[in-house]
A and B are shown apart, each in its own frame.
Chain A
Amino acid sequence: MDKTMAMPLYLIKKRRIKRFYLMITLFFVIIQLLWVGIPIFMAIMWSLVNPDDAWSYPNLIPPSFSLEQWRYVFNYTNIARALKTSYSIAPLAVILSFLLSLPTSYVLGRKDIPGKKVFMLVVLLPMIMPGMVVALFLSRVFNLMGLSQTFLGLVLAHTLMSMPYMIRVMTTSFASIPQDVIDAAENLGAGTFVKIKDIFLPMIRPGLIAGMIFAFTTSIEEFNLTFIIGTPTFETIPTILYSFMGYNFIRTNASVVSLLMMTPNIIMLFIVERFLKSDYLSASLGKM
């Protein structure tokens, strides 16, 4: 006897709905994989093109593979120096933007101050204005302050470009902390330090980590300001990438530099993902 015949109608419906959701999920997972995967796959393919055997229409994959494009980038660009500089600046810019954003975000997230909305908009300005416009104006300020061509200047420049992300995300985190948790802590005698350590920091942790990811990737990808105030003394990965991506776009070399820039970021995202799993805020609200 057919089992489904004996099955009640509501169960058959439930099974169909379940199957439908499964199909939809599968569809989006595949789309997502293609969306992210195809560009990465193409970058890998282009980075392995043999210069003596061009990859052209109608070949779907390169006719032969070679590491020559990688050798070219390492031999003929300052990529090693750029990697070192980029990964020296980014962590410092993240720490500095965290320290500078913390009080700002606290005030914006938890206090009612006049002109709060205007201030929020001003904070976002570096994100809204075109990068080269910000760079050209700021370079004058950096020149006047003697910060051009210095490592300190670059850290400050990257901090400035990272801060809007950090402030925005952390402000939302601060705003979401329930007042009754703070009141309860105060009733139990918690001082400012205890409140920061045991309530604010754990509860804003997901936001803080998200802000740090934004700040880190912004720093790693920052081109305009770095090029204007940093080169020739300092070169970062994007300053090399842009030589192959801009006017003189060369897919093979650009792919190599893109992969070099992308790989550490992806590894970092996976590491950070682990921290995001413990969510104090959700726990405090009983939603974990």
Chain B
Amino acid sequence: MDNSPLQIRALDKFRGKTQVLHGIDLDIAPGERLALLGHNGAGKSTLIKAVLGLIRHEGGSIRICGAAPGSATARAATAFLPEAVSFHPALTGHEQLSLFARLAGERADINGLLERVGLGEAMHRRIGAYSKGMRQRLGLAQVLLGRPKLALLDEPTSGLDPISRQDLYAIINELAEQGAAVLIASHALTEVEARTDRIAILRKGVKVADDTLAGLSAQAGLPVKLRVQASGAHADRIAVETGGRRINGASVEVLCSPQDKMAELRKIAAMGDAVADIDMVPPRLEDLYRHYSGEDRK
């Protein structure tokens, strides 16, 4: 319990008189990858900064491996990748990473780490000449310094090309396999969908969801979408019988709740030759996100 990488209880944070975080509870287990989702201004970065001990919080508690945020233990256990990370342009990548290694008190293989993130060629060039993607890679290299127990990544894929994103998630998986608890704050829903173990959603400083993707779907009870392709001119009949909606000449879209899915499928199967094909689309993270972040609720 005490050694949990991150344990947040009833966290309140005010900025002036506005409350920006409301009673947040959040845990991450070793080796778990948690996606933290939310609109701009939902409180993701604020939460991360509070965990880092960079800003004070007014209520509740944060424990990193049992230590208070900002304490020596907590800082040594935590790695951080800020959103749109930047460094002093006059230093080279190698010098910057050496500085971080010295600050962390690690005897790290600087060259190896830079090779690992694909900066082997550029390590002795100045950061001022780096592209945004290269700076992001350098940021990632410093996350890998000294085997963190908790890694906080704020929008880690912003500015990365698709190949780099693949690499990034490979590195994140490696971190998790080594037992680090990884928190990824992100907007890129389709990316985190398949690559995280659990999803938490913040909405205006309130945690509105925190579960696995499957769990979230079940709770939300979002309809499954069945797309039925009619053979010949049966589309109208299918639409009437299933209560679905014609979307083009030959297809009908039927929405049904997860519990009614099988019944609906049997009904459609009973129509025999009138049905040429059927596609089933379960709710995606994007739909869940819309649901939980409140865009559906108006």
The judgment on whether A and B are partners is no
Q: A: which residues have CB within 8 A of B? A: none
